[in-house]
């Protein structure tokens, strides 16, 4: 009686998916894919210079609301020390980097 196993085909499928993923990653990093525009070429929907006053201030709902209005941003992202964030660039987002005491150390768009 002949025994067949499904593992070789499963191993082939996993290997093929790995090759496809590697090719996609290579295309993305080689410049063939469209990249995000440089920071200076982004639309002027967020202006972090207009919220320089936030530096040293404790973050809170009132501060984030006023900073959003003053900067012209559509979104506000509060980033605490050690917090994982995405690296995507969003020209209409205001980022507020905080210290351990929840005080703003940097305001920037992106």
83 alpha-carbon distance from chain centroid: 12
The strand pair at 93-98 and 75-79 is best described as parallel
For residue 16, give the 3-state DSSP assignment.
helix
pTM above 0.75, yes or no: no
For the chain, 110 residues long, give each residue's pLDDT as a single digit of tens: 555 555 455 455 455 545 445 544 444 434 433 333 444 444 458 999 999 999 999 999 999 999 999 999 999 999 999 999 999 999 999 999 999 999 999 999 99
Give Cα separations from 110 to 4, 12, 96 (angstroms): 55, 41, 11
Give me Rg for the CA atoms of the chain. 23
């Amino acid at each position: 009686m002949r025994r067949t196993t499904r593992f070789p085909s499963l191993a082939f499928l996993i290997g093929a998916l790995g090759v496809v993923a590697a090719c996609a990653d290579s295309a993305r990093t080689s410049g063939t894919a469209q990249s995000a525009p440089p920071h200076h070429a982004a639309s002027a929907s967020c202006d972090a210079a207009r919220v320089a006053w936030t530096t040293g201030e404790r973050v809170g709902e009132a501060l984030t609301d006023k900073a959003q209005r003053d900067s012209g941003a559509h979104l506000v992202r509060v980033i605490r020390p050690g917090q994982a964030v995405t690296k995507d660039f969003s020209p209409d987002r205001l980022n507020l980097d905080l210290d351990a005491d929840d005080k703003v150390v940097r305001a920037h768009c992106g």
